[in-house]
A and B are shown apart, each in its own frame.
Chain A
C-alpha cells in the first residue's frame, strides 16, 4: 500500500471502492468473456486445433444436418465439460480416461433419447455420426484440459466457445456444399437462397474434402493478410516514435545551447 508518496490532493469524483468494483466487474467480464469467445476464432477447433474433421466432412451435405450436429455436439460438450471440471482432481488417476469417456457417452445417449423423441428425422439423417460425438477428438481432448486447469464456469464457457466455433464452420461448409451442389439452400424446408447452375461435385465425398481445403486456404490468406497489416501498422508507429524522439533530442540540444550561452 505505497500510496503515501502520491496522495491525491483532491477527492476523486467517484469514491474509490466503487471504481474498484467496476474495474473488477469489467475484468471479470472480459476474462470470462474471452474464455467463451476464444473458441470461436483463436482456438477454432477445426481450423486451429485441427480436430474433429470426421463429422465436418460427413454431415455437411445439408444445412439442417449441420445445425443438428452442431447443436447436439454443443449440448454434449458443454454438459460433459462442466461435469468433468467439477469432478476435477478427485478422479482416481488411472481410471480418469475411462471415466471421462463414460461421462461423455452417457450425455450422448441422453441427447439421443431426447432427439429420438423430438427430432427423429434429424437423428436418422446423422446416422452413425451421431454416436461418434461420444468419441469426438475435440471433446475428449479438451476435457483433459478442463479437469486439470479450470473451474466449472470457465469450462462451461470454454466448451460453449469451442462448440460455437465448430458449429459455425459446419454451417459454413454445409451452406457452400448445399448451395453449390443443389441449387438451393434450405432450412427446415424453407428455401433461403437459390442459384441457377449447380456444381454437383460438392455434394460428393471429394467435394467435402475440396471445400475444406479451399476454406483453410482462405483462412491462411486472411491470416497472412492480417499479419502483414499489423506489421505495417507497427512499422508506422515505430517510425512516428523515432521521429518524435528526434524532435525531443533536438529541443534538448537547443535548450542546452541556450543555457551555455547564458
Chain B
C-alpha cells in the first residue's frame, strides 16, 4: 500500500488534489496528514458497515450509496467535533476535511477495504500504510515542484505536463520496491 501499491502513483486515487495542492511543502504535509487520518477512519467505518450490516443482509448493491452517504455525514460530524474540542488540530488539518470527504482516495480506501477481505486490524494497518504513502509522495512532489519553480522549463511543458512527468519518474522509482510487503 505504501510504496509498491502506492495509493497515488499506482492506484491513482487522490490524484486531483495531489496535483493542485502540491506546491507548498507545509500545506502539502498538512493535507497529507488530514488525508491519512481520514483514510484510516474511512477504512474503519466501511469495514464495520460492510461486514456488520451490508453483507449479512445481502445488501451489497447498496454499498455505494451507504458508504458515500455515511462517510460524508460522519466526516462532517468529525469536523464539527474537532472544531469544538480540538481547535488547534482543527486549524491545522481540519480545513481540509470538507474537501476530503468526497475525495477519490478516502472513498477509494473504503472500497478497497471491502474488496480485500481483510480482518479489521489488517485493514486499519493497510490504510494507515496507504496514508503514509500518500503523505510521502505528497511531500516529495511538493518539494520537487518548489524546486522547479525557478527553472526555465520549455513553454509547452510548464505547469501540469512537468508535474505529470515528475510523477511518472517517481512512479518508476517506486516500481523497484516490488517485493516489499507493505
A residues contacting B by CB (< 8 A) are 50-54, 57-58, 97-98, 101-102, 105-106, 108-109, 112-113, 127-128, 131-132, 134-137, 140, 204-210, 212-214, 216-218, 220-221, 224
B residues within 8 A CB of A113? 61
Contacts A112-B64, A205-B12, A209-B164 given: A128-B69 contact, CB under 8 Å?
Answer: no
Check A105 against B13 for contact (C-beta < 8 Å).
no
User: How large, as a class, is the contact surface on chain B?
Assistant: 35 or more
Q: Which A residues lie within 8 Å of B161 (CB)?
A: 213-214, 216-217, 220
Q: What's the minimum C-beta distance from A173 to chain B, rounded to whole angstroms?
A: 12
What is the bound-complex CA distance between A140 and B165, given in angstroms?
A: 27
The chain A residue with its CB closest to the CB of B18 is A53
Q: Is B148 interfacial (CB 8 A cutoff)?
A: no
Residues of B within 8 A of A132 (CB): 13, 104, 107-108, 111
Write the chain B residue with the least CB distance to A111: B64
Query: Is B102 touching A140 in the complex (CB atoms < 8 A)?
Result: yes
Considering the complex, which residues of chain B in the window 10-24 have a beta carbon less than 8 Å from any beta carbon of chain A?
A: 10-16, 19-20
- Whether a CB of chain A sits under 8 angstroms from the CB of B180 is no
What 0/1 readout, one digit per residue, does chain B (152-182) give for beta carbons within 8 Å of chain A?
A: 0001111011111101110110010000000
Given contacts A54-B16, A112-B61, contact A101 B168 (CB under 8 A): no
Q: Considering the chains assembled together, what is the distance between the CA atoms of A137 and B100 in angstroms?
A: 11
Contacts of B108 in A (CB 8 A): 128, 132
A53 touches B19 (CB 8 A): yes
Residues in A with CB closer than 8 Å to B62 are 109
Interface mask (B113-137 → A, CB under 8 Å = 1, otherwise 0): 0010000000000000000000000
Q: Check B68–A101 contact: CB distance below 8 A.
A: yes
B19: chain A residues at CB < 8 Å are 50, 53
- Taking the closest CB of chain B, its distance from the CB of A161, in whole angstroms, is 20
Q: How far is the CA of A38 from the CA of B9 in the complex (A)?
A: 31
Q: Give bound CA distance, A216 to B115, whole Å.
A: 34
Q: How far is the CA of A207 from the CA of B62 in the complex (A)?
A: 35
- Looking at B14, B62, B165, B175, the one whose CB has the most chain A CB atoms below 10 A away is B165
Of A102, A131, A216, A221, which one neighbours B107 at CB under 8 angstroms? A131
Whether B160 and A216, one on each chain, are in contact in the complex, defined by CB atoms closer than 8 angstroms, is yes
Given contacts A57-B15, A205-B9, A212-B164, contact A135 B104 (CB under 8 A): yes
Q: Does B65 make an interface contact (CB < 8 A)?
A: yes
Residues on B facing A (Cβ under 8 Å): 9-16, 19-20, 61-65, 67-69, 72-73, 76, 102-104, 107-108, 111-112, 115, 155-158, 160-165, 167-169, 171-172, 175
Q: Tell me which residues across on chain B come within 8 A of A216, comparing CB atoms.
A: 160-161, 164
Are A105's CB and B168's CB within 8 A?
Answer: no
Task: Give the one of A53, A134, A136, A205 with max B CB within 10 A.
Answer: A205
With known contacts A109-B62, A206-B175, A209-B168, A135–B160 Cβ distance under 8 A: no
Q: How far is the CB of B33 from chain A (nearest CB, A)?
A: 21
17 extra interface residue pairs, beta carbon distance < 8 Å, beyond A53-B19, A109-B65: A50-B19, A51-B16, A53-B16, A58-B11, A58-B13, A102-B68, A102-B69, A106-B65, A108-B64, A109-B62, A135-B102, A135-B104, A208-B12, A210-B168, A213-B165, A221-B156, A224-B155
Inter-chain contacts of A224 with B (CB < 8 A): 155-156
B12 to A98, Cβ gap below 8 A? Answer: no
Tell me the nearest residue of chain B to A106, going by C-beta: B65
- Quick one: closest A residue to B17, CB to CB? A137
Which of A52, A112, A127 has a CB less than 8 Å from the CB of B115? A127
> A190: shortest Cβ distance to chain B, in Å?
28
Are B155 and A131 in contact (CB-based, < 8 A)?
A: no
Chain B residue with minimal CB distance to A131? B64
Contact between A58 and B175, CB atoms less than 8 A apart: no
Q: Which residues of B contact A136 (CB under 8 A)?
A: 104
Out of A52, A101, A131, A221, name the residue touching B69 (CB < 8 Å): A101
CB distance from A174 to the nearest CB of B (A): 14
